[in-house]
Amino acid sequence: MEFLPICLRLVDAPVVLVGGGTVATRKARLLLRAGASLTVVSPTLSNELEQMLTEHLGVWRQARYSEVELHGKTLVVAATADKVTNEQIYHDATAASILVNVVDSPEFCTFIFPSIVDRDPLLIAISSSGRSPVLARILRRKIEALVPAAYGRLANFAGRFRQLVKDTIPLDTPRRLFWEQALEGAVAEHVLADREGKAEQQLRERLRDTSSLHVGEVYLIGAGPGDPDLLTFKAARLLQSADVVLYDRLVSPAIVDMTRRDAERIYVGKRQSDHSLPQTQINQLLVDLAQQGKRVVRLKGGDPFIFGRGGEEIELLAKLSIPFQVVPGITAANGAACYAGIPLTHRDYAQSVRFVAGHLKEDSLEYDWSQFQSPMETLVFYMGSVGLPSICAQLQAHGRSGETPIALIERGTLLDQRVLVGTLATMADIVAHAKPRAPTLIIIGDVVRLHKDLSWFSQAPS
Ligand code: SAH
């Protein structure tokens, strides 16, 4: 992070703005709105700026920058058309440890002005760290459309009752739950419709019985195969509400980062033959955390109910009547196949698809291989990288042609996704040579032929 977003209290703070043109006028408007005690230094002023200064009791020093003393100021903004002066201001200010912004020159800024969605007292600041103010403004427009105009009123309303709610519900987790229910439910609707009396009545009523707030809940969430954009809206929403998140190795760090900053994160990842937390302990941990009244998110790669042991994890919750929800995710087969341009079914090549666990148990795959013989069925092997030579050999030994196409998708849907294509006869050698990195998925069947025409995702040559 190049700039840390913080909100600065500027009421009555001495601020110097150097420049009197259009850009300076824009900055002055913001600074005055924040209550700064503003001095504008410039030989000339735009009419609008002059008017603003009169209105807000700002000071105009009709002078050049060289005549100005920065000492004691809280911050300074350089908005002159002269590069040399702007840079001089930057050097003087930093030497005196004064916050400085040279407009349109992020390299000469110790702070920058974000784009703001203003629902005062609610503020949303968007910054591109000076890379693309236009992009920040586009994003701002989108957020403007999402956030109701009356949200400021809602923030003020919540502010009025903050202390009362804190005194009534001293524990953090149930208190947050209380506010979430209030601010997303009927109380908020009343405030937004300008019926604050009714809102207050509702809020006080709910404060009288808070027992339901002390029960925890578990959300078993599918995080998809890797690309964070493949998360569902529901998953994103519940992630935001979690007090604690348990995640494993297959979950993208970008998705774990979508949790609240103060949420606890617990890694319970598994690698083949390296179970960092045994399954029974994970199951128990979910129960313990929920019984402490926490909202617990258990994030799993792909879909929780496909080779994810999701069923085992909620069994104990169900038995103990702990509330839970399961949120489906895009499973690796769906994600990787789409990004690799391999339709899992196709009228000409495959009428069915079968997901198979491909890991070895004591060095052998115990399947009835004769069930995998239909040429019109796509086979997808999860966890099959170690077993790949054995899978190829067994399928051929039980009658599948050595010419049957097979693809191995490495790190599907991630930016470095790679697709290796071969046949049952050649694939073991191709993979031994290419040494793909986990996770990998194997797709077998004629649909693999479509990959070369239908793939759109950038990929390394296979
Ligand atoms: N519940 C998960 C699967 C867990 S089993 C799901 O629905 O996707 C773990 C296996 O999933 C890995 O060994 C690998 O075969 C597959 N896998 C998961 N993410 C993958 C990815 N991004 N690319 C390729 N394979 C992946």
Structural domain boundaries in the chain: 14-113, 151-214, 217-330, 333-454
Separation of CA 269 and ligand 1 centre (Å): 13
Please identify which of the residues 248, 294, 300, 303 carries the catalytic annotation: 248
Sheet of strand 377-382, all strands in order from the earlier edge strand to the far edge: 352-357, 377-382, 440-444, 405-410, 418-423
Residue with tokens 């097979």: 406
Class assignment of domain 14-113? alpha beta
CATH code, 217-330: 3.40.1010.10
Nearest Cα neighbor of 262 from 244, 246, 237 is 244
Residue nearest ligand 1's atom 12 by CA: 383
Report how far residue 312's alpha carbon sits from residue 377's, in angstroms, rounded to the nearest whole number.
29
What token pair was written down for 371? 């069930």
Q: What one-letter code names the amino acid at 361?
A: K
Nearest Cα neighbor of 387 from 408, 413, 417, 412 is 408
CATH code, 333-454: 3.30.950.10
* Three-state secondary structure call for residue 48: helix
| 8 A C-beta contact, residue 3 and residue 112 | yes
| 8 A C-beta contact, residue 299 and residue 245 | yes
| 8 A C-beta contact, residue 399 and residue 285 | no
> How confident is the model at residue 462, as a pLDDT?
40
Please give the torsion angle defined by the CA atoms of residues 70, 73, 77 and 81, in that order, rounded to the nearest 10 degrees: -20
Residue 409 CA, closest ligand 1 atom number: 24
Where do the H-state alpha helices sit in 398-434? 427-434
> How confident is the model at residue 362, as a pLDDT?
61
Residue nearest ligand 1's atom 6 by CA: 302
Q: Are strands 115-119 and 122-126 parallel, antiparallel or unpaired?
A: antiparallel
| 8 A C-beta contact, residue 260 and residue 242 | yes
> How confident is the model at residue 364, as a pLDDT?
67
Chain center to CA of 264: 16
Helix (H) or strand (E) holding 441: strand 440-444
| 8 A C-beta contact, residue 332 and residue 225 | yes
Residue nearest ligand 1's atom 24 by CA: 440
Catalytic (active site) residue 248: yes
Separation of CA 38 and ligand 1 centre (Å): 58
Helix %, strand %, coil % of the chain (to 5): 40, 20, 40
- For the chain, 462 residues long, the average pLDDT of each consecutive 10-residue run is 94 97 96 96 96 95 91 96 95 96 95 94 93 92 91 95 96 88 90 94 92 86 96 92 91 92 88 67 92 92 93 91 94 97 96 91 75 94 94 94 97 95 97 95 97 73 40
For residue 107, give every residue at least 6 positions away whose Cβ sits within 8 Å of its Cβ, in sequence order, or none.
Answer: none
Probe ligand 1: pick from 220, 221, 303, 307, max atoms within 8 Å of CB? 307
> How confident is the model at residue 363, as a pLDDT?
62
Nearest Cα neighbor of 319 from 278, 277, 287 is 287
* Ligand 1, CB cutoff 6 Å, lining residues: 225-226, 250, 300-303, 306-308, 331-332, 336, 382-383, 409, 411-414, 439-441
Q: What one-letter code names the amino acid at 179?
A: W
Residue nearest ligand 1's atom 3 by CA: 307
Report how far residue 11's alpha carbon sits from residue 133's, in angstroms, rounded to the nearest whole number.
26
- Residue 9 has, within 13 A of its CA and on its CB side, a CA count of 2
- What is the model's pTM? 0.71
Residue with tokens 């427009």: 141
> How confident is the model at residue 271, as a pLDDT?
54
Separation of CA 79 and ligand 1 centre (Å): 53
Task: Supply the Cα-derived Rg of the chain in whole angstroms.
Answer: 30
Chain center to CA of 210: 31
Residue nearest ligand 1's atom 23 by CA: 412
> How confident is the model at residue 185, as a pLDDT?
85
Probe ligand 1: pick from 382, 414, 420, 437, max atoms within 8 Å of CB? 382
Nearest Cα neighbor of 106 from 88, 78, 135, 131 is 131
> Angle formed by the axes of helices 427-434 and 388-397, to 10°?
170
Chain center to CA of 123: 20
Probe ligand 1: pick from 441, 457, 459, max atoms within 8 Å of CB? 441
CA dist 271 → 56, 106, 268, 312 (Å) = 64, 44, 10, 18
Catalytic (active site) residue 300: no
Beta bridge partners of 101: 77
Task: Give residue 338's region: left, alpha or beta (phi > 0; psi -120 to 50).
Answer: alpha
Sign of the C-alpha dihedral computed for residues 133, 227, 341 and 435 taken in this order: positive
Q: What one-letter code names the amino acid at 27?
A: K
